[in-house]
Structure 1
């Protein structure tokens, strides 16, 4: 009887092991299918960008790959009536300028919000955050009128200024949590050593939150780079960015999907390179602080 029971127990254990393995294989297969589904739009963009114009609408996966689309976008955009290289430079100037200005204003503001609490401070912070939550279309009409009157329409200054609605609340709220995680005793010790509050901020607090600054700078840059509504309405040609400029290839009698795909893939390069450059700070920065009130 004992051996029979042991045999039955072994069979049950083997059956459970087979079920667990089958479930694990099914889960892995589902994850692979989802990964392929999520990756397919990117693969399709690459395929479109490599197709020649005469095979754009006649084939799907069987075609002769060419880099003509990238050459047109990067080198001969003017011939197509779309100066994409200039739009690319505009995006770099505008995004870097917006992030830089937001860091100059937002880091001291985040430090003050983390260290000093007063009546209505939480309401003030929520009001600042509401600028990030509010749909951009709710403010675009008055901004368009103001920009026309102030001469900021289609200018770098105007775009950097308006993108503060996108980048500044993000930087203040995230960096506030990083500064709140720092022990106040560190700054108090620096003050006892003769540092001023300003020196304690620059020499003690800021070096300790460098990973957070790297992480929030990348996030703010991505949001500024990807913004579409503001450059669509508040620019014409001189300060137009890649998000709007890439769609210019779709105009005309025959949309040039291959050029649009090439332009979109080229526009991904700066955020990707920035993420790879600050990767060692980014991983630590994303796990260093937590957004909290």
Structure 2
């Protein structure tokens, strides 16, 4: 009887978590008339017009004119910008995190203060810096450029990468690195041949989460982005028109936009194991 309540509680939690996505998926396969019906329709004839409309520009209703299909470009922009921002954040954040765990400080509290200061940049609201950021970008000519968005996304990704990777590096005993140094490895060789392989599981999980955070960013893309570099988050605003809201196409865009994170999670699932470090140490 006890296990019945455990399974029941687990089922309720799963339903609560999955319900928004299932509801969004159901909207993506409904017609515009079924969605805007005054009585919710739980039994309906599925359609793929909303997904096709993302690429053809058709709205699925005669009351609204067709539009230029920009969603593929928005999707590609998001891949390029979020992927580039994640790679750059890893290149900057991993060495910084390792330095925070192995560098010598006069006071141990200084190490923690620096780490928390870096993390605090992630806590700050994006709206607090958008105005000066826009002025700086305008003078530097970075408005509506890929590099401009990749650089500003470092405010999101780098603090997270540093803090997460720091925790993984702390789990690696210093004795392992000292043993590699005794065997003749230099400091860079120890870092690339010993430390990174041991922490690859944590780095993979960090990279996935950093990509998701960059992919979901809205304010920075809205302020310093533009028509040429507009990602999915801001491009989806085009489904909101003065005549009506294209709920079906917006829901289809949400479902497709979730695919990159899902694909990355599947590709990295064998590496996203928190106990890899401890397993290697025990051997």
Q: Shorter chain as normaliser: what TM range?
A: 0.7 to 0.9
Map 1:87-106 → 2, pairs under 5 A: 87-106=74-93
Q: Say which of 52, 57, 62 aligns to 1:71.
A: 52
TM-score by length of 2: 0.87
Aligned partners of 2:256, 2:235: CA distance in 1, in Å? 12
Query: Relative to 1, partners in 2 of residues 1:287 and 1:187: Cα closer, same or farther, differing over 3 Å?
Result: closer
User: Aligned in 2, Cα 1:286/1:128: closer, same or farther, shift over 3 Å?
Assistant: farther
Q: Where do 5+ consecutive residues of structure 2 fail to align? A: 59-65, 279-283
* Aligned residue number for residue 6 of structure 1: none
Go from structure 1 to structure 2 and tell me whether the alpha carbon gap of 1:142 and 1:204 turns closer, same or farther (over 3 Å shift): same
1-side partners of 2:31 and 2:260: how far apart? 26
Question: Is 2:106 aligned against 1:126?
Answer: no
Aligned residue for 1:200? 190
**Whole-angstrom distance in 1 between the partners of 2:10 and 2:164:** 31
Q: Tell me the residue number matched to 1:253.
A: 243
Cα drift, residue 242 of structure 1? 0.8
Q: Is the 8 A contact 1:77 1:85 kept in 2?
A: no
Kindly report which structure 2 residues correspond to 1:51-70, keeping only aligned pairs within 5 A, or say none. Answer: 51-58=30-37, 59-70=40-51
Give the Cα separation in 2 of the matches to 1:86 and 1:286. Answer: 39
2: CA distance, partners of 1:268 / 1:256:
19
Give the count of matched residue pairs: 266
Cα distance between partner residues in 2 of 1:186 and 1:26: 46
Over the residues paired in the alignment, what is the CA RMSD in angstroms? 2.0
Could you tell me whether the CA contact under 8 Å between 2:201 and 2:276 is conserved in 1?
no
Unaligned runs of 5+ in 1: 1-20
Q: 1:38 aligns with which of 4, 12, 17?
A: 17
> Does structure 2 conserve the Cα–Cα contact (< 8 Å) formed by 1:82 and 1:249?
no
Cα–Cα, structure 1 residues 24 and 190, in superposed 2: closer, same or farther, change >3 Å?
closer
1:281 Cα deviation (Å)? 1.0
TM-score by length of 1: 0.84
Q: Secondary structure at the match of 1:98?
A: helix
Offset, 1:28: 4.2
Deviation of residue 286 (structure 1)?
7.2
CA 69–190 in structure 1, closer or farther in 2 if over 3 Å, else same: same
Distance 1:53 1:106, change over 3 A: same
User: Residues of 1 paired with 2:176 and 2:7: CA distance?
Assistant: 48
Q: Identify the match of residue 96 of structure 2 among 100, 106, 109.
A: 109
For residues 183-213 of structure 1, what are the alpha-carbon distances to aligned partners after superposition, in whole Å with 9 as ceiling and x for unaligned?
A: 2122222222332211111111111111111
CA distance in 1, matches of 2:14, 2:179: 51
| Aligned partner of 1:285 among 270, 274, 279 | 274
Quote the residue 2:67 is aligned against.
80
